[in-house]
Amino acid sequence: MPKKSKINLSDRALLKLAEFTISVIASAEAVKEAKDLPEKQRKAVEDMHSTYLYTFEQIQDVVFPLDCTQADVDTAMNNLAATIDKSDVAKEAVEKVKKEILETAAAM
C-alpha cells in the first residue's frame, strides 16, 4: 500500500504532473527501443527524452510547495508512478506517446 503523501496538490497540478510523468516514462522506453536505430534517429529520441525530463523537473519545481521535503516529493512521485503502473488508461497513454516519439524520429 502506498504511503500517504503529506502534499495536497490541486487537480490541475496533479494532472499536469501525471501528463509529464507519462511522457518521461514513454520517452525513456523509446530510448531503450531506439538503440538499434540509425544515429540521427536515436539522437532525436534521446533529445526528446531530455526535453521531457527537463520540462518534468521544471513542473515539479513549480507544483510542489517550497516547504516540502525531498522525501515528501519522492513519496508523492512514487504514489503517482504506482497509480500510472496500475492504470490501463495510463499504460495506453505511455504506449501512444512512445509510438509518437519513435514515429517522429523515424520521419527524420
**Mean pLDDT in order along the chain per 10 residues (108 residues):** 63 82 93 93 95 89 83 85 87 94 91
CB 51 within 8 A of CB 24: no
CB 5 within 8 A of CB 63: no
Q: What is the pLDDT of residue 7?
A: 65
Counting Cα atoms < 13 Å in the Cβ hemisphere of 98 gives: 17
Angle at 105 between CA 102 and CA 108, to 5 degrees: 150
Cell triple for 45: 529520441
Which residue's C-alpha cell is 510523468?
21
Q: What is the pLDDT of residue 48?
A: 95
Give pTM, 2 decimals: 0.79
What are the start-end ranges of the H helices in the chain? 11-33, 39-63, 70-86, 88-106
Q: What is the pLDDT of residue 2?
A: 56
Distance separating alpha carbons of residues 101 and 14, to the nearest angstrom: 23
